[in-house]
Amino acid sequence: MFASAAADPRIDQPACGTERETLMGFLAYQRQTLEAKCAGLGPLELSTRSVAPSTLSLLGLVRHLTDVERFWVRSNLLAQPDDPLYWHEDGTDSDFDHPPATTALVAASWAAWHEEMAFTDAALSQQPCEKCVVIPRHGDVSVRWIITHLIEEYSRHNGHADLLRECIDGVVGE
């Protein structure tokens, strides 16, 4: 995706950091990868569902990952009663099933994602990796497990983002 390695905006994770530094470094790298996959695209391209019949879009991935972070950290780790922004108990799933993208919708989606990432980072920095919480349908999970799961979610969806971006404008890369 980048003309040269020097143009890559992502920051490598620490190779010899502490456990927390390494985990948070990998999470940051995956987040930066998603942002790079979306770089330079307007609302129409970001909302393009380019792999029929899937409803996946780059904007949908941003919105979905906002709710993923919100679910695991805000709602479960910290037990705050904050509802998801895009997914609803009745099955309505506006992360992928959203109205036609406008500049305002894209800006609001990016703002929500950045806000949720900042919240996640602040919350995780205050929790020991060994701390466990009970999460319905998952049982006991540790903060370490939650961070690892967030990395896994971003990694999997960055694979989707690769295909979506290639279909939109032919851009490929890491």
- Return the CATH number at 153: 1.20.120.450
Spatial separation of the C-alpha atoms in residues 138 and 141, rounded to whole Å: 7
164 within a domain of the structure (yes/no): yes
Task: Please tell me the predicted confidence (pLDDT) of residue 3.
Answer: 47
Domain extent at residue 127 = 5-169
pLDDT tens, residue order, the chain (174 aa): 554 556 677 778 888 899 999 999 999 999 999 999 999 999 999 999 877 788 899 999 999 999 999 999 999 999 998 888 888 777 666 777 777 889 999 999 999 999 999 999 999 999 999 999 999 889 999 999 999 999 999 999 999 999 999 999 888 877
Q: With contact defined as beta carbons under 8 Å apart, do 28 and 13 qualify?
A: yes
Task: Please tell me the predicted confidence (pLDDT) of residue 91.
Answer: 66
CA atoms 25, 118, 131, 150: torsion sign: negative
Number of domains in the chain: 1
39 within a domain of the structure (yes/no): yes
